[in-house]
Amino acid sequence: MNDEPPAAGIYIPRTLISAAQAVILIRRMLLDIGEHIYEGRRMSYIGESERTAYIAVSIVQQGNLERLMPLKDVFLLSLFSNIGSYRFILPNFTSSINDAAERDYTYSYYFLKYMSPFGENTKYLLFYNSKYNPLLAQKVVQAEYAHLIFFAAQVESYLRKNNYSYTSEAIGLLDPSDSGPDYVKLFLDADRQCNIVNTVRDGSFLQKIDEWSGSITYDYDDTFKLVKMLIYIMDFKSTATVTHTINTACFAAALGQRMHCTPHEIDELYTAGILHDIGKMAIASRILECPAKLSSGDMEIMRTHVEEGIRMLHNVVPSGIESIASHHHEKLDGSGYPGKLTAEDLSLQDRILTVADITSALTDIRSYKDSFSKESTVRIISEMTEAGKLDQEVSGCVVNGFDPLKNEVEIRSRLLSAEFGSISAEFQAAEMTENL
C-alpha cells in the first residue's frame, strides 16, 4: 500500500504480467487445451511446436545466424507456428481448406497478425508450401524464417514418426533447396555436437524451452498484446470464458477504485481478474459450453478449474496475484470453494474479485442463459450479501451504483478488445480464394 489512491475519474489499470510470464502461461494453456481427447484423438500440438522451436533455435545457434534471425523471433515464431491447429480441435469448427497443415498455418497467420506483437514477421506463415527463393529471402527475411521453421517442423515430424532415428540421407530429403543456408548440414552438425535428437527424445530439451520462455522481454505495449493473446486463446475452448474474463477484470478494477484501493492494488485486481479462470482450459468444452444446468458430477469437475488455475499460475506470477485469483469462489461464511475460507481469511482484494466475478457471471450471456437484468443482478447480489456470503461494502458498490459501474466497465473493456472478427473474416476470404 505504498501508492496513493487513484484520483477522481476512471483509473486505467495496467497488467502486472511480464512478457516472459505471458509466454509461459500461454504454453501451459495450450498444453491443457491440447491434452484433452476429442473424437478419440489426443492433441499434442504444443509439444510438436516446442520440439520444432528447439530444433530451429539449435540450427540458428549452430550456424551463428542470430544477426539474420534473432533467437527470440525464431523461438516465438516456431513456438506459435501451429497455433491455428487449436481452432479446429472442436468438431463445430470446420474449414473448406482440405489440406490440414495449410488450413492450420493459414489460421495461425491471421491469428498472430491480429493477436501478437510479432508484426511483419507473421508473414513467414504465408510462405508455407512455397518453393524457397534465395533472392526473395535476401530481401524479405520472413521467407528465410519460413525456410528454417518449416524445415525444423519437418525434422520434428520425421523424428517423432521414426522413433527418433534418422539417416543423413533422410534428413537431406526434407530440404530440397540447393541454395541459402544449409539447414540440413547445420542440423546434423548440431546433433553431433549437442545431441539434439537425444535431448528431444528424453524431454530434457524442455529445460531450454523454459529458459528461453523466461528470458522473453517486450515493452509494455507489446507485452499487453501477449496478454490479450492469452485471453483470446481461451476462445479455442470457450467463447463465453473470453467475455467473462474481460468483464471480471474490468469489474474488479472499477470496484477496486470505489473501495479506495491504491493504483498498484487495482492493477493486481485487474491482473488477477484476467487470470482467475485460466484453469478452465483444463476443463472439457462440453462442460464449459453446456447449454443446460450442469449435473452434480459435471459441476464437481467444473469446480476443479480453481485448482487447475493454481497449478498453472504457481511460480509464474507473483504470489499475491495467484492468491487473489485462487480465492474468487470463496465466500465470507465458509460456503465457497475450494478452501472453504471464511471472512478472516479473505483480504479486501479477495472480496472484491469475488463480487466482480459474480456480477460478471450474472450480466454475461452464457450458453445456458441470457444476461440477467439490472434488477435481477442487484437482487441476487443483495440476497447473497444478506446471507453473509459477500462483503457488504463491496457489494454495495454494485447495488447502489450499478449503472455508472456498468458504464465504466464497458469503457475499460475496450482496452482488452481485439479485432477478433477480422481473423475469421480474413480466414474465410482465404478459404474462398483457395477454393476458386
Q: How confident is the model at residue 36 (pLDDT cuts 50, 70, 90)?
A: low
The residue from 216, 231, 263 where one domain ends is 216
Q: How confident is the model at residue 7 (pLDDT cuts 50, 70, 90)?
A: very low
Checking if the pLDDT of 40 tops 80, the result is no
Checking if the pLDDT of 155 tops 50, the result is yes
| CATH number of the domain within which 227 lies | 1.10.3210.10
Checking if the pLDDT of 39 tops 50, the result is no
Q: How confident is the model at residue 367 (pLDDT cuts 50, 70, 90)?
A: low
Q: Compute the average pLDDT of residues 203-231.
A: 97
pLDDT (tens digit, 9 = 90+) per residue, 250-259? 999 999 999 9
Report the distance separating Cα 348 and Cα 400, nearest Å.
19
What pLDDT sits at residue 375? 96
Report the distance separating Cα 273 and Cα 23, nearest Å.
18
Checking if the pLDDT of 8 tops 60, the result is no
- Higher model confidence: residue 67 or residue 435? 67
Cell of 106: 493459414
**Amino acid identity at 238:** S
Residue with cell 511483419: 120
Checking if the pLDDT of 291 tops 70, the result is yes
Q: Are 229 and 197 contained in the same domain?
A: no
The residue from 216, 248, 271 where one domain ends is 216
Checking if the pLDDT of 27 tops 70, the result is yes
Q: Compute the average pLDDT of residues 271-295.
A: 93
Report the distance separating Cα 282 and Cα 34, nearest Å.
9
Residue 302 lies in domain: 220-420
Structural domain tally of the chain?
Answer: 2
Q: Are 234 and 179 contained in the same domain?
A: no
Checking if the pLDDT of 2 tops 70, the result is no
Closest CA to 176 of 151, 195, 198: 151
The residue from 216, 242, 266 where one domain ends is 216
Report the distance separating Cα 237 and Cα 432, nearest Å.
26
Checking if the pLDDT of 5 tops 60, the result is no
Domain assignment present for 200: yes
Length of the chain: 436
Q: Compute the average pLDDT of residues 95-103.
A: 89
Q: What percent of the chain has pLDDT over 70?
A: 94
Report the distance separating Cα 327 and Cα 329, nearest Å.
6
Q: Are 305 and 326 contained in the same domain?
A: yes
Q: What percent of the chain has pLDDT over 90?
A: 78
What pLDDT sits at residue 44? 64
Least confident range of 133-142, 183-192, 322-331:
133-142
Q: Are 305 and 412 contained in the same domain?
A: yes
Q: Are 127 and 248 contained in the same domain?
A: no
What pLDDT sits at residue 15? 97
Domain assignment present for 429: no
Q: Are 298 and 377 contained in the same domain?
A: yes
